[in-house]
Each structure stands twice: as structure tokens, then as C-alpha cells.
Structure 1
Amino acid sequence: MGKHFGNLAKVRHIISFTISPFEQRAFPNYFSKGIPNVWRRFTSSFFRWSPQVTLMYLTYTWGNNVHQQGKRKNPADYANDE
């Protein structure tokens, strides 16, 4: 009853080559080219994003400190309770 999935069309004049998974190298040039490339890309963009991250961190910690101080009770309000 009809064609099966994968055989729906007849493709002609296309040649495809594949490498066996047993012949592929999982991490070619990982230590010689990969790590130096990551370091180069990190150092080239570090000064672009680090000021924003530092400013956001300082703003976040300042906001948390102000919030914690706002939740405290004022000891002067309870000085004459006895």
C-alpha cells in the first residue's frame, strides 16, 4: 500500500559520503587549538561585559542590604517599655 517513509521520493545524481563513527576523532586539536581559542575569545570580550556585570552585582547587593535594614525594628521605639 504505497511507499514507506524514507522511500517517498527517488533522488538521483546526489552522492553522499559519511565517515564511520569508529573512524571519527571526538576531540581533534582540543588542547592545541581549542583551549587557546577559548582564552583568546574570553580576554577579547572581558572588558566589554565585566563592567556591566560588576555594576549589576553591586546594585543587587546594595538593594538586598537596604531591604534587610528596612525590615529591622528600631530599638529606640522600645527603649522605655519597662
Structure 2
Amino acid sequence: MKEPVIAQKSSYQVELEEGKTYYWCSCGRSKNQPFCDGSHEGTEFKPVAFTAEKTGTVGLCGCKHTANPPYCDETHRKL
């Protein structure tokens, strides 16, 4: 399996709306980080769909190496 592009070595702090579905970029190529813009086409990567459990700010993974996608687990500190 190929490695994803590291979009940034920190989390993206984003405001989510409860009940809304989002698509997190897992390939690191999206120009709309941390969300998918279709740039994964032609790769083995697929966006990760998730529904916000509550309205508020969350940290979504920017390095694309989290063990808990789409949420940041501080893996970027080890890269």
C-alpha cells in the first residue's frame, strides 16, 4: 500500500454540524483539506465518510497517518 501525502503535520481544527455527513481526505491530495475533493481518483485511497456526533470544533488528522480516522491522534508528532 502506498503512503498518503502528508498534508500538514498538525490537525485541522474544523467546525462540524451535528448529524451532517462529511468526507475526510485520506490520500492527502485534496485542495480542500481536510475534506475530500476527489483528488484520490486513480489511487488506492478512498475518502472516509463520517457523521458529526455533535456541533462543535474538532481536530481532524492532517498527516493522514492517524489510527483513528478521521480524528487526529497526534501521530504527526512521530513523523
TM over 0.5: no
Which has more radius of gyration? 1
Q: Which has the higher contact order (CA 8 A, sep 6+)?
A: 2
| Structure with the higher strand share, 1 or 2 | 2
Q: Normalising to structure 1: TM-score of the pair?
A: 0.15
TM score, norm. by length of structure 2: 0.15
